[in-house]
A and B are shown apart, each in its own frame.
Chain A
Amino acid sequence: MTDDNHEPSYLQVNGQTIPVDPEGYLRHLEDWNDAVAEQLAQEEGITLSEAHWEVLQVLRQFYQQFEMSPAMRPLIKAISAQLGSDKGKSIYLMSLFPGSPAKLASKIAGLPKPTNCL
């Protein structure tokens, strides 16, 4: 499943082989489903809870509307608007998706890596 000592360029989900880029983002957005999300999360050491799923849902909607993955600030804004201001905080998102929430959550949501995300 791995090649070149890098991250796998394929994801194995229920016997299906799903291509991902060298950073682990899905190559084809339409490959995404719940099982793929769980596998992507597992690669990052995350077990998806209800709290994760609702963030992923907001991200997917954001992408559908604007055709881009959000950086941190617009992500927080979108989460605040849809899930309430107590969840629209970077500390909350950091607790779910440690490190760089915008990048990590986009990856698990099957979306491209957000650009201009510091």
Chain B
Amino acid sequence: MSDTKKSFLIINRKAPYGSSAARDALDVALTISVFEQPLSLLFMDDAVLQLLPDHQATLIGQKNLSANLSMLEMYDIDQLYVCQQALSLRGIRPDDITLNITLLDSQGIASLIKQQDHVLSF
């Protein structure tokens, strides 16, 4: 692998099902990891719902996205961030999330975005 590394941030904004946005973001994340680029994932807005465990996705003929997200660490994708405000607006406590994830306020989000070479929003 060449030494030309670019940092990537994937911003998730959509609920887990109902559109392919969450699935697309995951696919892109896994692809970026294959190229061993520095990668962070940020969950904002309705995308915080992706982080809740125990999705019953088979009932709608889908793959369980929260199970897929727990796989990220096997791909060495461990820079996970979540918008604090999005959580509290939806009554989700940080303890409800089983993934190892960092809470960010809007200032933290701004500086996270600023550090990146590429930002992809889904």
Residues of A within 8 A of B (CB): 62, 65-68, 70-71, 73-74, 77-78, 115-118
Contact call A71/B68, Cβ cutoff below 8 A: no
Q: How many Å lie between the Cα of A78 and that of B70 in the bound state?
A: 14
Contact call A66/B30, Cβ cutoff below 8 A: no
B74: chain A residues within 8 A (beta carbon) = 62, 66, 70, 73-74, 77-78
Question: Which residues of B in the span 74-122 have a Cβ within 8 Å of any Cβ on A?
Answer: 74-76
Residues of B within 8 A of A (CB): 27, 30-31, 33-34, 63-64, 67-68, 70-71, 74-76
A70: chain B residues within 8 A (beta carbon) = 71, 74
Contact call B34/A71, Cβ cutoff below 8 A: yes
Select which of B33, B34, B63, B76 is within 8 A of A68 by beta carbon. Answer: B63
Most buried by A among B67, B70, B76: B67
Contact call B27/A67, Cβ cutoff below 8 A: no
Contact call A66/B75, Cβ cutoff below 8 A: no
Contact call A66/B71, Cβ cutoff below 8 A: yes
Number of residue pairs spanning A and B whose beta carbons lie under 8 angstroms apart: 41
How near does chain B come to A94, taking the closest CB pair, in angstroms?
18
How near does chain B come to A13, taking the closest CB pair, in angstroms?
26
B67: chain A residues within 8 A (beta carbon) = 65-68
Contact call B30/A71, Cβ cutoff below 8 A: yes
B34: chain A residues within 8 A (beta carbon) = 71, 73, 116-118
How near does chain B come to A80, taking the closest CB pair, in angstroms?
11
Contact call B30/A67, Cβ cutoff below 8 A: no
Contact call A68/B75, Cβ cutoff below 8 A: no
Q: How many Å lie between the Cα of A116 and that of B27 in the bound state?
A: 7
Q: How many Å lie between the Cα of A56 and that of B70 in the bound state?
A: 21
Q: How many Å lie between the Cα of A67 and that of B16 in the bound state?
A: 15
A73: chain B residues within 8 A (beta carbon) = 33-34, 74-76
The residue on B at minimum CB distance from A74 is: B74
A117: chain B residues within 8 A (beta carbon) = 34
Q: How many Å lie between the Cα of A67 and that of B76 in the bound state?
A: 17
How near does chain B come to A61, taking the closest CB pair, in angstroms?
12
Contact call B31/A116, Cβ cutoff below 8 A: yes
Q: How many Å lie between the Cα of A118 and that of B30 in the bound state?
A: 11
21 contacts across the A-B interface (CB closer than 8 A): A65-B67, A65-B71, A66-B74, A67-B63, A67-B64, A67-B68, A68-B68, A70-B71, A71-B30, A71-B34, A71-B75, A73-B33, A73-B34, A73-B76, A74-B75, A77-B74, A78-B74, A115-B30, A116-B34, A117-B34, A118-B34
